[in-house]
Structure 1
Amino acid sequence: MLPYALLAYRASIHTSTGATPYSLVYGTEAVLPIEVEIPSMRILAEAKLEEAEWAKQSYEQLNLIDERRLKALCHGQCYQQRMARAFNAKVLHVTPDSRGKFSYKYDGPFVVKETFSGGAIILSNMDRTENALPVNADAIKKYYP
């Protein structure tokens, strides 16, 4: 089953490149086994070509392979930027605390300044100075004066 899985992988368009791996290597799309039994429009068009014309078209496609690879590279870079933006929008950035893991990070009453989905909360002191690090909402207890 591995050859069939590899054929499916190499003949499918990948989101990251916008092209099939087969076309980036060989400059043309792969001929699927089903297209041999039931000819597609592409196979019928190639069957009507003279051998010299078919060779000329294949040579022109090979000349354009560098352009296709460059286009796939640009598409891949745009894809990575989109994924990075989506990841950064969902991740709450936390700077490491230099006081050590056993020290008290919060002391005294606080006011909830901002809440985020997922249970993160930004706290501020009673004099409205904001703490830099977010806190998990499960670690907060209600303060009764």
Structure 2
Amino acid sequence: MPKDSHGETPFSLTYDTEAMIPVEINIPTHRTRLSEEENEGDLRLNLNFAEERREAAARREVEYKKAMEKYYNAKVTEVKFKVGDLVLRENEASRQENPGKLGPRWEGPYQIIWAGEKGAYKQAYHTGEEVPRMWNAMQLRKYYA
């Protein structure tokens, strides 16, 4: 099956020709009607264009990845917290309590004491004691008191 990202099959990129399934051997097609010499000529012609096909597939894959990144970035909402904000931390991320099926999903509140550039935050308990490690914004939620 051709890959969505570059439109080629892995077999064709590796061996420079499309795979022939056993059923296709018994059905008269252009590929099965050719003599061995004509088939060899076609395979050599495919080899001449192999590098071009690989480069075109690589370009299509880059375009596909850019489109996927654009789609993803359009859907993602960036969350930023300021120093002093109160946040809840995802219980599944910290595993402080075994939540079980009906357990709490969020724990806290904690106060943000340091905010990094790429979504990293240091927190403190309500007593002022610092939480041992840094946490990502994906594991935090704003606490409204």
CA distance in 2, matches of 1:103, 1:44: 72
Look up the match of 2:127: none
Q: Find the partner of 1:27 among 5, 16, 26.
A: 16
TM-score in terms of structure 1 length: 0.55
What does residue 103 of structure 1 align with? 111
Superposed counterparts of 1:26-65, under 5 Å: 26-37=15-26, 39=27, 44-65=29-50
Amino acid paired to 2:15: Y
Paired amino acid for 2:67: R
How many matched pairs?
A: 97
Q: Shift of residue 49 of structure 1?
A: 2.4
Greater share of residues in helix: 1
Higher-strand-fraction structure: 2
1:16 corresponds to which residue?
5
Q: Counterparts of 2:112 and 2:36 in 1: how far apart (Å)?
A: 80
Match of 1:114 in 2: none
1:69 aligns with 2:54: yes
Check 1:96–1:18 CA distance in 2 against 1; reply closer, same or farther (3 A cut).
Answer: farther
The answer for the alignment partner of 1:122 in structure 2 is none
State the 1:29 CA deviation. Answer: 0.7
Instruction: Determine what percentage of the aligned residue pairs are the same residue.
Output: 29
Which 4+ runs in 1 deviate beyond 6 A?
A: none
> Quick one: which amino acid aligns to residue 14 of structure 2?
V
Letter of the 1:87 counterpart? Y
Q: When the two structures are superposed, what TM-score results if normalisation uses the length of structure 2?
A: 0.55
Cα RMSD (Å) of the superposition?
Answer: 3.0
What does 1:74-89 correspond to in 2, within 5 Å?
A: 74-89=59-74
SS of the residue corresponding to residue 18 of structure 2 reads coil
Residue identity opposite 1:76 in structure 2: E
Listed as ranges, the gaps of 5+ residues in structure 2 are 88-109, 114-140
CA deviation digits over 1:61-82, x for unaligned, max 9? 0111111111110010001000
* Structure 1: segments with no counterpart, 5+ residues: 1-11, 106-135
